[in-house]
Amino acid sequence: MKQLTKAEEEIMHVLWQLKKANVKEVIEELPDPKPAYNTVSTIVRILESKSFVDYEKQGKGHLYFPIVSKTEYSNQSITMLVDNYFQGSFKSMVSFFVKKNDLSLKEMESILKEINSKED
């Protein structure tokens, strides 16, 4: 799976939220200042060429929808982060974030409880 640019990710987040949308609807969900219609249209076509979105005809236009789920992309992005910055070690990544964010013992226990509940 290909990595997305920041602009492509922003469009994907809107499409994941809306499920299906035309370019105008995507623009409406983006923060101000709104990008130009042609800019968003170009990014959507790039996402289509990268096999992240597909479309169906709607009148004279297109209705775009994601074909890569947010979970699938998130998993791939996290795996790349771990591989590229933590030599493939999730333990090293977690340790880094615990130290960087100065997590308390109570917060770490809460995280462990959540992890353990997912294993059941």
Please tell me what DSSP assigns to residue 52. Answer: S
Answer whether the bond into residue 33 is a cis peptide, omega within 30°.
yes
pLDDT value at residue 120 = 57
8 to 29, 64, 81, 116: CA distances (angstroms): 14, 14, 18, 35
- Average confidence score pLDDT of the chain: 93
Domain with CATH 1.10.10.10 in the chain: 6-66
pLDDT, one tens digit per residue, over 6-17 is 999 999 999 999
Q: Which CATH class is domain 6-66?
A: mainly alpha
pLDDT, one tens digit per residue, over 16-51 is 999 999 999 999 999 999 999 999 999 999 999 999
Please, what is the Cα angle at 15 between 34 and 2, to 5 degrees? 100
Cβ contact 50:63 at 8 Å: no
pLDDT, one tens digit per residue, over 65-96 is 999 999 999 999 999 999 999 999 988 988 88
